[in-house]
Structure 1
């Protein structure tokens, strides 16, 4: 059986996973010095994301778009240039994935455009960034948008469909109410009615 998650539960799970990931990266910098992200930036990001997660857990719904913008700015600013020039920089998919769960189609497209504009301002357009990185990222984001469309369509169709119990009652109700009336029209009752009237009784004796 597929587990059913509400929008709030899915958003909270994504925020908790983001906080845990940043905490693991920060813990890695305590033992190793070869991590590409600076430790000070990881400390600030871990505290900020954890604070946003706690605020959303306290039912502040405006934290969702704030979290999308914060994750987009984090990837655009914190991603080192040597990671961007690789054929596929998987980290640039993090903002649209968060937007898939926390927002909608506009959030997915907007966060993708924002993070690539920031990276293009920081890194030279030459090399592998323009031909491969943007195209691969565009393909992945297209899949996210299509997946979100399927989710929204399934949700709307489920909301518009009436409950099965109500439809079953409406279909079976009239037949049950009319069954006692049809059972009264039997041959024995008809003979009794005609015999009491007189004329049908004489015809039957002849």
Structure 2
């Protein structure tokens, strides 16, 4: 069962990522922001993960990278068409059996068999929200293999997706190994 949206009259002080992410930096954003320079031209983040630092910092532009192609694909799709993405996610998230092991493992098999970037992005979000501890893990065959999370309730991160898409308009997302590519970025974009 999905939790109903909580409406708050208080403005958000911090923005949560729409993904659950092991090793996420959400709790550290205040401390990390203190270390940034006063002039905030461009943030280059080589391990963007769920994007907590990006979402809670104030730079003119962002170069955000990760080695996970499913993550970067998802970010680019949300950036380009968040409303269409949200509508296409709802049937999976709000299915009567969405919070069951059978449904989860069927979606995981579908994800592993799919080569369609949009389909993979939708299922990737579902697997992230319904899988164990927000883990993202692949086996030696490059198959997603995180087990079902068995949570009592679930939350569809609609507001978080919209905020991410808005903020992402000033970002470039790169799928790359930081040592091979990111460290060799031309000086003009640093």
Query: TM (normalized to structure 2)?
Result: 0.24
TM-score between both structures, scaled by the size of structure 1? 0.22
Q: More strand per residue: 1 or 2?
A: 2
Q: Which has the higher contact order (CA 8 A, sep 6+)?
A: 2
